[in-house]
Amino acid sequence: MRVVLDARPLSHPQSGGYRSYVMALVQGLAELASTDVEILLYLDRPVDFSLPFETRILSSSRLKTDFALFAQQVKRDQPDLVHGTVNYLPVGISSKTVLLLYDALLLKRYPWEGVVQRSLRQRLLNAYWAGLMRHSARTATSVFTISQGSAQELASVLGGSPQRFLVVPLGISLPLPRAGVVREPTTILAIAAPDARKNIEALYEALPLLDDLNPTLKLVCTTVRTAAAAETEVARRGLKNVQLLRNLDNQALSDAYATARVFVFPSRLEGFGLPPLEAMQAGTPVAASNALPMPEILGAAPLYFDPEKPAELAATVRCLLTNADEWSERSHAGIAQAKRYSLKAMAEGTLSLWRELAA
């Protein structure tokens, strides 16, 4: 069986999202080393790291690739299946197709969005992606997603039952923390993001309620824009003991998880929610929002809170900072939960889907 994987996210500098998914899938498939599957990776430009499968370099022009070059290369390679990884499929593909839809964010307006100020360029890009996403969902041979919660949201806008969307959960690709990393007893770790969906403002509002514990908040900033927004907001609110972590590679991020006493994830909605699992892998207890699909993915390991109630968030974090027995219980439960989401399981689920469709 020959499969084309849309691996264009691998050349994007920003971590997370599509890039994390493709990198994890490629790693998992390489570990399985299935002899009956030939995998071709389609990239939009060369990358500066080695890949375990044969590659095709198309073009850095998204429009050229989406509307001509991708389909032309597929016609030359004649695969049994094309796997779409960016919420849509390039047009004109003659082979069978399987499309991953992460979530319904481009297709559905949520109450927390309010009046979002976006540039003309961003509005045009969002309209472009949403249009291709709807078209691809109708025309793909098969569509799947990464959680039951995501399936529920997609069904609400695309129609049909959530059961029409097969689910293949993500795997954790982050390495284990290095030996000797010292856990800091009052450090809270979170991922900074200016996106209202990520809801970092709830943590900012909760932090003053913990002043008597004198915690240190460390914010992982994945882009220059994110760091600038966090810096501005922290200064505006007069928050104390806040550190911004910038330019972390995967090992440094894993070590940061292991350094923290608590990881906080206040998101209002996720397609999957990988960062809490990464924290759990490092043995760090998680305070997580109870929004979709966190309870589905994280199970009973975290302490949950309502993402719209900063005081509840603060009480949850306080418990994990001050209650040693609760901390230990959540740490052990988190390690066990994280082990369920391996790269091998992700790759095996994907291969099973491929083989079913190719047959």
Higher pLDDT: 113 or 269? It is 269
Whether 179 is in a domain gets the answer no
Domain that holds residue 116: 2-171+342-358
Are residues 259 and 133 part of one domain?
no
Are residues 166 and 191 part of one domain?
no
What band does 358 get if pLDDT is binned at 50, 70 and 90? Answer: confident
**The pLDDT of residue 359:** 82
Are residues 329 and 351 part of one domain?
no
Are residues 206 and 139 part of one domain?
no
Task: Express as a percent the part of the chain with pLDDT over 90.
Answer: 84
Whether 7 is in a domain gets the answer yes
How many domains is the chain partitioned into structurally?
2
The number of angstroms, rounded, from the C-alpha of 299 to the middle of its chain's C-alpha atoms is: 17
81-136, pLDDT tens digit by residue?
999 999 999 999 999 999 999 999 888 888 877 655 667 787 788 888 889 999 99
List Cβ neighbours of 286 (8 Å cut-off, separation of 6 or more): 262, 263, 264, 265, 276, 279, 280, 298, 301, 302, 303, 330, 334
Whether 181 is in a domain gets the answer no
Helices (H) and strands (E) in the chain, counts: 13, 13
**The pLDDT of residue 115:** 53
Whether 19 is in a domain gets the answer yes
Whether 182 is in a domain gets the answer no
Are residues 222 and 93 part of one domain?
no
Are residues 211 and 119 part of one domain?
no
Are residues 352 and 334 part of one domain?
no
Whether 180 is in a domain gets the answer no
Are residues 223 and 209 part of one domain?
yes
Concatenating the DSSP letter of every residue in 283-326 gives T--EEEE--TTHHHHHTTSSEEE-TT-HHHHHHHHHHHHH-HHH
Are residues 290 and 253 part of one domain?
yes
DSSP assigned state of 117? -
**The pLDDT of residue 78:** 97
Q: Are 57 and 45 in contact, with CB atoms under 8 Å apart? A: yes
Q: What is the CATH number of the domain that holds 204?
A: 3.40.50.2000
Are residues 221 and 83 part of one domain?
no
Q: How many other CB atoms sit within 10 Å of the CB of residue 49?
A: 6
Are residues 151 and 219 part of one domain?
no
Can you tell me which residue has the tokens 């071709």?
40
Are residues 227 and 131 part of one domain?
no
Task: Name the helix (H) or strand (E) containing 244.
Answer: strand 242-246
